[in-house]
Amino acid sequence: MNIRALLAGAALALSGCGAAEPPEAPPLAGARIGGPFALTGEDGRTVTDRDLAGKWRVMYFGYTFCPDICPTDAQNIAAGLKRFEAEDAARAAKITPVFVTIDPARDTPDVLARFTDAFHPRMLGLTGSAEAIGQIAKAYAVYYAKGEASPGGGYLMDHSRQSYLMDPQGRPVALIPQDKGADAVAAELERWVR
């Protein structure tokens, strides 16, 4: 074999090394979802969007008194994150799961802490004034409304059911399919978190 053929073969082989396909554009790239906020964390201190800068976040909106959907979704998000942690601990450590209440009248910092601690040690519960919750819900395109009071004085909250993966700059990346179970959550985290 002559040197010219050997060099041509090597050049052809090396041309494929750096020719990876460009990354797929995130499905929510450019969407007007998210924005600045100032809420109350589980320890009673103010938490802002700037406190989460540099971290990937899974943003979920629900309430702790929810009889079925919110605990199931929180469980699926947490279990999916735990599966991702088992596969790639370094990337998973960059993710903060965030549970924002849509029922601030009942979801105090203490209530949120007990709720989130039951699912994942890094899950952060956020509450605030009715006005602050209304502002963040609007920024994240989340619908919610207080339901009719029962004879005992309790009530349910009606709300949309989506969770967002936000990048370290606070930009929306993708919807997290928490309604499809832990494997689907883990797969979506694997797909986007860098």
Q: Is the dihedral of CA 148, 152, 153, 156 positive or negative?
A: negative
Establish whether 120 is an annotated binding residue.
no
Q: Are residues 134 and 128 in contact, defined by beta-carbon separation less than 8 angstroms?
A: no
Angle at 181 between CA 175 and CA 185, to 5 degrees: 40
Q: How far apart, in whole angstroms, are the C-alpha atoms of residue 2 and residue 4?
A: 6
Establish whether 17 is an annotated binding residue.
no
Indicate the annotated binding residues: 66, 70, 159
Annotated binding-site positions for Cu cation? 66, 70, 159
